[in-house]
Amino acid sequence: MIYLWLKAGHIIFVIFWMAGLFMLPRYFVYHQEAAPGSDEEAIWLDRERKLLKIILNPSVAVVWILGMGLAYAGNAMSMGWFHLKLAIVLALTGYHLYLSAYHRKLQRGERALTGKQLRLFNEVPGIAAAFIVVLAVIKPF
């Protein structure tokens, strides 16, 4: 029964994490469209900070804790599909950290990416999620 509770919690927090990963680059687009130093820019900085602190950072921590508990409880640690899934989740965690670092750059007034690049970043979590779901459900190897 513990396995099912771990799985339910893991899925719930993956949804929260993914929602935040889809939202944050879009926030960055709107932020960069605001005039530097404007009230609107300050509002976007606050929204980004809240999204990171309230949703993204806690969610990624819970996803990792429950995910590793699931892997242990389900004896997945020795399965090939799990290793690839874990590698993709590590890459997605790196993406999360990159977005957090970009938020800090925006706080300093640095706008290193274009709106088009940020819009393309919205595709990263969707592609990663598609691969992760296929690996977790189909378990191809």
Annotated binding site for heme: 10, 85
What residue numbers does the annotated binding site cover? 10, 85
In this structure, what are the phi and psi dihedrals at residue 77, rounded to the nearest 5 degrees?
-60, -25
Q: Distance between CA 15 and CA 105 in Å, rounded? A: 27
Q: Distance between CA 137 and CA 103 in Å, rounded? A: 34
| Maximum CA extent, the chain | 53
Contacts 24+ apart (CB under 8 A), 72-79: 73/2, 73/3, 73/6, 74/3, 79/139, 79/141
Distances (CA, A) of 68 to 27, 65, 91, 93, 97: 30, 5, 16, 14, 19
